[in-house]
Amino acid sequence: MVSFYALCWALGLGLRVWGKTIPTTKAVVLFGDSYTDQSRAHSIANGTYPGKDYQEVFPPTDTAADGGVQWPWYLGLYGNYTIWNYAVGGAVCSNVLTPLNGEPDVIGGQTDWFIQDHVTNNGTKDQKLDMDPEEFVVIIYIGTNDVGIHLFIDDSQSPTVSLADLADCQLTTIRNLYALGARRFIVNSLIPLQLTRLYSNSSDPTIYYPAPHDGVAWNKRMYNFVQTMNTLLRRGVAALSEEWRGTATLDVFDTYGFFEEMYNHPAKFFNGSIPANVTGHCHQCPDPNDFTQCGIGDCTLAERDSYMWWDELHPSEQTGRNLAQQLFKKLTGAETQF
């Protein structure tokens, strides 16, 4: 259930005074990783410069990390929003805090693209945002790689970085975007990563991490990381909302809770040709040491929408449609389904 207070925040400035209308959302600006990226990571790998001239590439030419079309496209479809998707597969919030793949990060390279696209005369006294702040919302959905493999989960992070720094990075990004003129923000909480195959309690090798590891320990660590990050994000967002009361709207979307809802009530959300499956995944890699075999043994196209997960780490396209539907409800002030 969404509390009245939370609902009012979600609805933006307008509804806090009865009789005023919900702001009309015309565009959604997204920052994140492979949970949001449609094709930027591939475009970068391709050598196609993905800045101002970037074009999203959709199936069958290119598939996102969910095996198909990524959820922002569905959000755009459901709400008739213009989607500015700056997310890059493999990204983290900050390459300074948690260097990983060197992909443009949320606080740096991804924000720079937003500036290139939407801020005229950046850095001068004539600096101006080219969108009405009331008409677009920023969604930040990052953290999966920051806490994951080759970083926190296997103690590969720098000895002087903490989860608190990761949460601060998200809040600082919001402050930076506020300074550029953005006024409406949603932070998607981290999903229950302990439910993915990669961070399950099994110690069997996976394509993402074929090396030996202690599955039971990883599973508990990941639960702890995600819960801690989400608590830090919720409190940080609440403090910033208070600081900006009346000048900006800022809220956490409970991605964690919504994923738990899908996990616990799969029949409501998954509609492929077989019974809903929230523990396995469609995309298979029969030999965890040989990615060229990935795809052998995949579920069929008709079965796909029965799966909550596409692979050992990524949610499926149907999970993405469900997420888009809930975010659409949030943006239009309708009751969310969990």
Ligand X SMILES: *[C@@H]1O[C@H](CO)[C@@H](O)[C@H](O)[C@H]1NC(C)=O
Query: Which residues would be at the binding site for ligand X (CB under 6 A)?
Result: 26, 39, 42-43, 46, 48, 57, 61-62, 80, 112, 115-116, 122-123, 201, 216, 271-272, 277, 279-281, 305, 318, 321
Q: Which is nearer to ligand X, 72 or 272 (CB)?
A: 272
Q: Which is nearer to ligand X, 57 or 96 (CB)?
A: 57
DSSP codes of every residue in 112-158: HHHHHHHEETTTSTT-EESS-GGGEEEEEE--HHHHSTTTGGGT-S-
What's the rounded Cα separation, in Å, for the pair 98 and 165? 10
Q: Which is nearer to ligand X, 23 or 272 (CB)?
A: 272
Residue nearest to ligand X (CB): 280
What's the rounded Cα separation, in Å, for the pair 114 and 130? 11
End-to-end CA distance of the chain: 6
CB of 46 to ligand X, least distance (A): 4
CB of 54 to ligand X, least distance (A): 8
CB of 240 to ligand X, least distance (A): 22
Q: Which is nearer to ligand X, 83 or 232 (CB)?
A: 83
DSSP codes of every residue in 251-310: EEE-HHHHHHHHHHSGGGT--SSS--BSSS-S---SSTT-GGGTTTTPPPTTTGGGBSBS
Q: Which is nearer to ligand X, 87 or 163 (CB)?
A: 87
CB of 280 to ligand X, least distance (A): 2
Q: Which is nearer to ligand X, 46 or 289 (CB)?
A: 46
CB of 123 to ligand X, least distance (A): 3
CB of 239 to ligand X, least distance (A): 26
What's the rounded Cα separation, in Å, for the pair 277 and 266? 7
